[in-house]
Amino acid sequence: MHFALTEEQAAIQETALSFAKERIAPYADEWDERKHFPVDVIRETAQLGMGAIYVPAEKGGSGLTRLDGALIFEALAYGCPAISAYISIHNMVAWMVGRYGTEEQIAAWMPKLASMEWLSSYCLTEPGAGSDAANISTRAERQGDYYILNGTKQFISGAGVSDFYFVFARTGGEGAHGISAFVVFKDTPGLSFGANERKMGWNAQPTAQVIMENVKVPAFHLVGGVEGQGFKFAMSGLDGGRINIGACSLGPAWAALDKAREYMFQRKAFGRNIADFQALQFKIADMATDLEAARLMIYRAADALDRADPQASMYSAMAKRYATDLGFEIVNQALQIHGGYGYLRDYGLEKLVRDLRVHQILEGTNEIMRVVISRKVLGGNRG
């Protein structure tokens, strides 16, 4: 066992980090303030192979690993977690198409997903069904060669801008076995969007309801061509989604640590650099240690998912809980080191605090992560 990145992984990380520093970070505060979704910049990442990261090459993707993906999302999030998180969502949709779509569906959809000509959104959560995903009420009724979809999805990233909506709807009875997955395109009659939510953070990407009123889609848009498989699709994406959002917490913590370190050598108090004060030295030491510990847990979970480790779900839940909690704490402590200046928009730290708070809720709240972990441990299934 070793903990060094390969030359290829180091190159992947450096490519993503350079892009983040050059094309994302300089504009992130402006995008946040204007609530601007930089579609043009997001599409540039596809030219670097980041539109279908872990879709196999033979299916039109980049053929990289989950660990490679974690490195990419961490590095992109150094520039802006809201942008990196959206790209991770797009990649989850591309992966589901590649994993569960028919050959004909993959051939029809993957080229434009991988190139990001089509940006995508993942539509599972509903106003009355968040953590209880098996209880969704959106319905899809078969009528000849079409399905008619009715229902509302809540908190959908990219809603109203994305072109390609991966929608979960009930085709059968109650419970998990009655759920199927469909693709709905933005211009489909009956598809509409709620107002852009007024959020604490993540202002650089739109979040809104996706509303379906007698939306008619061809039967060809039933993902995988078989009803009743949707819940399985959704659950299979959870581990990767949790790793990704954890990785999107590492990048901002990394950026905040860099900002704090630089500030400590610039700011003087009582005639000395504040870097000379032991209280702040200990604070920065704890922040650096926490970041490295969280990073190792994310990498461990991603590697476990790549190896199909039986404990991958537990490791993913552990890593998500740990990285999102510590990521938030690190950026909050960086703000504290900056004192009153950290509270100002000009320094970019208050944005990171606002952006990272939602990571403790997304992809299953951190309370749900504790449920997943405790069931594994108490059930005697922990490896």
Q: Are 294 and 326 in contact (CB under 8 A)?
A: yes
CA-CA distances (angstroms) from residue 106 to 60, 62, 186, 223?
A: 8, 14, 19, 10
User: Is the C-alpha dihedral spanning 364, 367, 373, 375 positive or negative?
Assistant: negative
Give 79's contacts (C-beta < 8 A, 6+ positions apart). Answer: 19, 20, 21, 23, 24, 25, 28, 251, 255
Phi-psi region of 219 (alpha: psi -120 to 50; beta: other; left: phi over 0): alpha
Q: Give the 3-state secondary structure of residue 136.
A: coil
Residue identified by tokens 């319905």 is 139
Residue 154: count of CB within 10 angstroms of its CB: 19
Please classify residue 20 by burial: count the beta carbons closer than 10 Å to its beta carbon, then call 0-12 exposed, 13-18 middle and 19+ buried.
Answer: buried
- Residue 227 is among the residues annotated as catalytic for this protein: no
Q: Is 311 exposed, middle or buried (0-12, 13-18, 19+ CB in 10 A)?
A: middle
Its sign, for the CA torsion 198, 352, 367, 90, is: positive
Q: Which of 74, 126, 350, 363 is catalytic?
A: 363
**Cβ pair 99, 66 in contact under 8 A:** no
* Catalytically annotated residues: 363
